[in-house]
Amino acid sequence: MPELPEVETTARSLQRSLPGSKVIGVRELDYAPTVEPLSPKDFIKAMVGRQITSVGRRAKYILLPLDNDHTLTVHLRMSGRLFTTPAETPADRHTRLILDLDNYYALHFRDVRKFGRMQLLTAAEYAALDSRLGPEPLGTGFNSAVLAERLQAHPRARLKPLLLDQQFLAGLGNIYADESLFRAGLHPLRQAGTLSMEEIQRLRLAICEVLSEAIIAEGTTLSNGVYRFGQDQPGRFAERLQVYGHEGKTCPQCGEPLQRQIIGGRSSHFCPACQV
C-alpha cells in the first residue's frame, strides 16, 4: 500500500510533466467524495485555469501547489494511483478524476477502492494539516534526540501503533513499521518508555535505512499488484522485505519461525526471538 516510499516515488514520477502546467479541464469526476468537502462543481470551478507550480510530498500526501497560494493535496490511501498520460488516453472504470493540462498531458487519479482523496486547501488549511503531522523521518530535523523525546511523551504506548501514528512520525505504514522494528531488533509490543538510548538510535537508523532503500527500489509492489507508479511500473522492494507477509517462514537472522499477531487492530509480523 502506498506509504512514504511509494508516495515519494509517485511524486517523483510526476516531476517531468506537471510543474508549470495549467489545468484546462476536469473530467470523470463521478464519485463526489473524492474531492470532499467541495462539491465536484465547486472543485472544477476552482481548478480550471490554475497552474500547478511544483510537485512535493509531506507524509503520505502528494502536494501540488497552485499559482494562487492554494495547494492541491492528494492522498492515495489504500489503492490510489496518480500518473500522467498523453492527453487522449482513455479513462477506465476505476478512474476517479482526470485533470486535462495545457501541455498535452492529463493527470489521472485512479482508485479502485475509492478511499483516496484530492483536497484543495488554502495556505492556512495546509499549514493546519502540516502541524498535525509528525516529523519527516528522512528530514534533517529527525535525529535520535527528537525520537527519544517523542517516545518519552508516550511511555506506555506500544511501539507498533506508535510508529503508525502519523502525528508521532509521518509516513510509516504497516509494511515499513514492521520492517523497521525487525531491523532494530525491537518487539512491536515494547513500551516506548522502556527503550535505552542505544535502542532508540537503532530504531532511528532502521527507519531511515528501510525508507531510503525502499525509495531507491521505487517502493513495494506486493503480489496483489495494487501499487504501481508512472506508466504502470511495479516497485522492486517486495523481494527485500524480511518479515512483512512472511508469517511462518524462517527469520533471516536466526532461523526461528516468524510470527504474525494483530496489534492495535493491524497485522504485525516479527521474529519472536530476535525482537525483544
| 70 in Cβ contact with 122 (< 8 Å) | yes
φ/ψ of 190, rounded to 5, equals -55, 140
Choice from 12, 22, 27, 75 touching DNA (CB under 7 A): 75
Rounded Cα gap, residues 150 and 131, in angstroms: 15
- Of 43-51, 64-72, 110-118, 208-216, which part binds DNA (CB under 7 A)? 110-118
- Of 10-18, 38-46, 47-55, 72-80, which part binds DNA (CB under 7 A)? 72-80
Q: 32 vs 276, which CB is nearer to DNA?
A: 32
Q: 73 vs 84, which CB is nearer to DNA?
A: 73
Q: How far is the CB of 213 from DNA (least distance, A)?
A: 18
Rounded Cα gap, residues 61 and 93, in angstroms: 24
| Under rule CB under 7 A, residue 118 binds DNA | no
Strands 56-58 and 61-65, how do they pair? antiparallel
Q: Rg of the Cα trace of the chain?
A: 20
Listed residue (29, 49, 27, 51) closest to 38, CA to CA:
29
- Return the number of other C-beta atoms located less than 10 Å from residue 91's C-beta: 16
Is 272 marked active-site?
Answer: no
Rounded Cα gap, residues 27 and 110, in angstroms: 12
Q: 1 vs 23, which CB is nearer to DNA?
A: 1
C-alpha cell at 215: 525509495
Q: Which residues partner with 117 through β-bridges?
A: 75
C-alpha cell at 258: 516468524
φ/ψ of 101, rounded to 5, equals -115, 160
Is 155 marked active-site?
Answer: no
- The site string for DNA over 175-204 (x = CB under 7 A, - otherwise) reads x-----------------------------
For the purposes of burial, counting CB atoms within 10 Å of the CB of 255, is it exposed (0-12), middle (13-18) or buried (19 or more)?
exposed
Q: How far is the CB of 62 from DNA (least distance, A)?
A: 11
| 160 in Cβ contact with 173 (< 8 Å) | no
Q: How far is the CB of 125 from DNA (least distance, A)?
A: 12
- The site string for DNA over 83-102 (x = CB under 7 A, - otherwise) reads ----------xx--------
| Under rule CB under 7 A, residue 264 binds DNA | yes
CA dihedral sign, ordered 177, 179, 181, 184 = negative
| Under rule CB under 7 A, residue 77 binds DNA | yes
| Under rule CB under 7 A, residue 112 binds DNA | yes
Q: How far is the CB of 103 from DNA (least distance, A)?
A: 30
Choice from 3, 28, 179, 218 touching DNA (CB under 7 A): 3
Is 41 marked active-site?
Answer: no
Choice from 224, 239, 248, 255 touching DNA (CB under 7 A): 224
Residues contributing to the site for DNA (CB under 7 A)? 1, 3, 33, 59-60, 75, 77-79, 93-94, 112-115, 156-158, 161, 164, 166, 173-175, 223-224, 264-267
Which residues belong to the active site? Answer: 2-3, 60, 266
